[in-house]
Amino acid sequence: MDAAKKTAGDDTFLANPYNFFCIAGNARAQNNNAPDLEPTKLFDNVYAVGNSETAVYAVTSSEGILLLDAGFENKAEALDAQLQKAGLDPARVKFILLGHGHADHFGGAKFFQDKYGTKIAATAEDWDLINPPAAPADSPWRRARSTWTRAPQRDSPTRAGQASALSLSV
């Protein structure tokens, strides 16, 4: 904490993340009703969609589209529409690579998995976080979970340094 405070110093730009992450009580959960982003081509074959607090990146190639994360479940249809607005065909989303197993990253994955047959990739540890294999079907965790999000089916486990099956050449 001291090192972060020293790094932020009097810089107002650095003070904002320091105050948010390092001062107890300032952090909050992501807002799944934050305003949607205007679909934007960032550069070359990389697009930003999603909402103002949970961006989803689309990387296009001749073989299809790779999404980096899938946003919240309640934003999945909006994400589908955003891709179309950016001139991208959501049916070409071949893979979703999840950054980690929180609902603001995997929530929309089930929609793409069910509608388009999209493959979902996450580390084995994140798959266990998304849908714990040891949790009994009648556990309080599973009952609570069923009321707020549908998890994607466990698909492709990944590991650091593993090559993607989707070519990202343009």
Q: What pLDDT score was predicted for residue 31?
A: 74
Structural domains present in the chain: 1-29 (no CATH), 31-158 (3.60.15.10)
Separation between Cα atoms, residue 77 and residue 48, nearest integer Å: 16
Show pLDDT as tens, one digit a residue, over the chain (170 residues).
788 778 888 888 777 777 776 777 766 667 778 889 999 999 999 999 998 888 999 999 999 999 999 998 889 999 999 999 999 999 999 999 999 888 889 999 999 999 999 999 998 888 888 887 776 666 665 555 555 567 788 876 666 666 555 555 54
User: In terms of residues, how long is the chain?
Assistant: 170
Percentage helix, strand, coil for the chain under 3-state DSSP, each rounded to 5: 35, 20, 40
Separation between Cα atoms, residue 22 and residue 168, nearest integer Å: 37
Give pTM, 2 decimals.
0.75
Q: What pLDDT score was predicted for residue 18?
A: 74
Give the number of other CB atoms < 10 A from CB of residue 162.
Answer: 11
